[in-house]
Amino acid sequence: MSAPRLPRKLGELAVPTNRRPVGSLTLPAGTDIDVAAEAALARPAGEREEPVLVVWPDGRCGIVPVMDVLAAMAGRYAKLTRTDQLTGLPNRGMITAEGQRRLDSGDLVAVLHLGLDQFQDANDVLGHHGADALLYRVAVALTAAHGPGNLAARLDGDQFLVLLTELPGGHTAQSLGRQLAAGIRGPHQIDGLPIGVEVSIGISPAGHHDFQVLQRRAAAAMRRAKQERTGVVEWTPGLDSTQRVDLRQLTELRSGLKSGHLRLHYQPLHDAVSREMNGVEALVRWQHPQRGLLPPGVFLPDAERSDVILELTDWVLAEALHQAATWKRNGHHVPVSVNLPAAYLAQERAVPTILAMLRLERVPAELLTVEITETAVLTRPDEVAAQLAELRLRGVRVAIDDFGTGYTSLGLLPRLPIDELKIDRSFVVQMHESAAHATIIDSVIAIARSLGMKVVAEGVEDEPTAADLARAGVDLLQGYHLNRPTPPEAVPLLPARPLVPAA
């Protein structure tokens, strides 16, 4: 699959003429798109929408509408977020979109999920650099062996995926899997050492029209291959029933919800410049009578695969708004953000329920922000956009959570009804290690600014990161460096901790 070449220089966006237009910003045709976008956005508010004038060395001129400059920058951003930086393979977002696109166009699609065995050992023995080199070699072996028309991707860490729309002559999915395993096995020469790699492969045969279902089946088959050390396992319906949701825990959660065992912790968001607290995000926990306080990762994934998530979200909304009302009665106007799963918003009663809860607690709608993930918006774009638009009309704020991990092209942003973008932790964590991630953050900020959205950075774990994000123009910061999630009584309602000067 070849992507069209993306323009890098401003001159590529305009047609040179001999006329000489006038305007507030004139730049040489050789200016990088990113630099041009920044300059365009740096103009005073009234001039920001004006086109950019381009001059070529021979004196000819041209005009570029400002949205074209931003869209070109967005295109570069989209490519960065679709590609795994280490191996150059498509990433999870990209392969998911491509797989679903092929299914929608009527292709039969099978999925192979590959997980390297004991990769942690390779990390320990070879160090980060060597382990990265090994992952690169695995990626090369993978792309070499699966035939044209098929596509390999790196999901994350040591997990890869191959999307199969055709089988090379004489192969079954199983035999192709074994051939891939042989290629990956090596040995690969890393820092002069011959290194072998074992891999477990799960196959989901064609036969479902939802790519996420195929992906889940292949992952379940891979886990089975790992447990049984059999190398390659093909998914069958029987395999699902042994790895289904933990029904006992789900039943317990349902009754825990009724018996009042759920808790909300609140993590402050801080103004990036003044560092004052500027709201909180509500995060659910389960105070389990035997197992102690459980984080959402333990029980939410199962809840989200059943309708318990609807009841749970009703509870979270009610509790968070009740807390906001309590704070308000005590003189603190604390904006509260609540995570909303796509399934909740898909209900017709979602908006009326939220509005009724606001009225009941006498909390102004402006104090509530709903956070919804990029993937959720994309799986049901029309319903979700309509619901979000109605909420906004009533004053509720809307944030896109985990931004950058999904497949939203920045070009789509102007069409979504949103107030706030939360840049995913994975970008924030890597901003000091990778120029590409720093560029993505800069692009997101520039575009969000031009659309009047606020930008939040999550996962801020140290002061250099906080300072750099503030300099880059992020509005709000959230992360362990500033505050961890706490029970409501421990939320620091007075201005947040002052900046501690470095020793």
- Residue bearing tokens 């939410």: 300
In 3-state terms the chain splits into helix, strand, coil percentages (rounded to 5) of: 45, 20, 35
Q: Report if residue 375 touches ligand C2E, rule: CB under 6 A.
A: no
Q: State which residue, 342 or 446, has the beta carbon closest to ligand C2E.
A: 342
- Work out which of 81, 96, 267, 339 binds Ca ion, going by CB under 5 A: 339
Residue 254 corresponds to which tokens in the numbers above? 């349902």
Dist. CA 437–CA 445, nearest whole Å: 12
Q: With contact defined as beta carbons under 8 Å apart, do 11 and 54 qualify?
A: yes
Residue 352 partner contact from ligand C2E, Ca ion, none using kind-dependent CB cut-offs of 5 to 8 Å: none
CB of 46 to ligand C2E, least distance (A): 37
Dist. CA 164–CA 412, nearest whole Å: 29
CB of 477 to Ca ion, least distance (A): 13
CB of 304 to ligand C2E, least distance (A): 7
Dist. CA 427–CA 403, nearest whole Å: 9
Residue 77 corresponds to which tokens in the numbers above? 């951003």
Q: State which residue, 202 or 485, has the beta carbon closest to ligand C2E.
A: 485
Contacts of 423 (CB under 8 A, 6+ apart): 403, 404, 441, 444, 455, 456, 457, 458, 474
Q: State which residue, 28 or 480, has the beta carbon closest to Ca ion.
A: 480
- Check residue 8 and give left, alpha or beta (phi > 0: left; psi -120 to 50: alpha): alpha
Q: Report if residue 354 touches ligand C2E, rule: CB under 6 A.
A: no
Dist. CA 82–CA 92, nearest whole Å: 8
- Subset of residues 290 to 309 that bind ligand C2E, contact rule: CB under 6 A: 295-297, 300
Q: Report if residue 361 touches Ca ion, rule: CB under 5 A.
A: no
Backbone torsions φ then ψ of 83, nearest 5 degrees? -115, 140
Give the binding range for ligand C2E (CB under 6 A) out of 140-148, 276-284, 379-387, 409-417.
276-284
Q: State which residue, 112 or 300, has the beta carbon closest to Ca ion.
A: 300
Residue 451 corresponds to which tokens in the numbers above? 């659309």
Q: With contact defined as beta carbons under 8 Å apart, do 446 and 70 qualify?
A: yes
- Subset of residues 323 to 342 that bind ligand C2E, contact rule: CB under 6 A: 339, 341
- Subset of residues 398 to 437 that bind ligand C2E, contact rule: CB under 6 A: 401-402
Give the binding range for Ca ion (CB under 5 A) out of 22-30, 32-40, 298-306, 366-374.
366-374
Q: With contact defined as beta carbons under 8 Å apart, do 234 and 221 qualify?
A: yes
CB of 371 to Ca ion, least distance (A): 4
- Subset of residues 251 to 270 that bind ligand C2E, contact rule: CB under 6 A: 267
- Work out which of 158, 234, 252, 371 binds Ca ion, going by CB under 5 A: 371
Dist. CA 499–CA 501, nearest whole Å: 6
The mark string for 479-498 relative to ligand C2E (x by CB under 6 A, - otherwise) is xx----x-------------
Q: Report if residue 284 touches ligand C2E, rule: CB under 6 A.
A: yes
Q: Report if residue 401 touches Ca ion, rule: CB under 5 A.
A: yes
Q: Report if residue 139 touches ligand C2E, rule: CB under 6 A.
A: no
Count of chain residues binding ligand C2E (CB under 6 A): 22
Looking at residue 362, the DSSP 8-state letter turns out to be T
- Subset of residues 210 to 239 that bind ligand C2E, contact rule: CB under 6 A: none
Dist. CA 399–CA 383, nearest whole Å: 16
- Check residue 207 and give left, alpha or beta (phi > 0: left; psi -120 to 50: alpha): left
CA distances to 8, 110, 160, 202, 481 from 214, rounded to whole Å, are: 37, 7, 14, 11, 39
Q: State which residue, 214 or 320, has the beta carbon closest to ligand C2E.
A: 320
Q: State which residue, 142 or 312, has the beta carbon closest to ligand C2E.
A: 312
Q: With contact defined as beta carbons under 8 Å apart, do 441 and 473 qualify?
A: no
Residue 480 partner contact from Ca ion, ligand C2E, none using kind-dependent CB cut-offs of 5 to 8 Å: ligand C2E
Alpha helices in 107-210 (DSSP H): 119-145, 173-185
Give the binding range for Ca ion (CB under 5 A) out of 107-115, 293-301, 336-344, 374-382.
336-344
Dist. CA 338–CA 205, nearest whole Å: 38
- Work out which of 98, 158, 234, 402 binds Ca ion, going by CB under 5 A: 402
Q: State which residue, 69 or 280, has the beta carbon closest to ligand C2E.
A: 280
- Subset of residues 451 to 470 that bind ligand C2E, contact rule: CB under 6 A: 458-461
Residue 479 partner contact from Ca ion, ligand C2E, none using kind-dependent CB cut-offs of 5 to 8 Å: ligand C2E
Instruction: Report the amino acid identity of residue 469.
Output: L
Computed on alpha carbons and rounded to an integer, the radius of gyration of the chain in Å comes to 25
Dist. CA 387–CA 417, nearest whole Å: 10
CB of 287 to ligand C2E, least distance (A): 14
CB of 404 to Ca ion, least distance (A): 10
Q: State which residue, 139 or 340, has the beta carbon closest to ligand C2E.
A: 340
Q: Report if residue 158 touches Ca ion, rule: CB under 5 A.
A: no
Q: Which chain residues interact with Ca ion by CB under 5 A?
A: 339, 371, 401-402
Q: Which chain residues interact with ligand C2E by CB under 6 A?
A: 267, 282-284, 295-297, 300, 313, 316, 339, 341, 401-402, 458-461, 478-480, 485
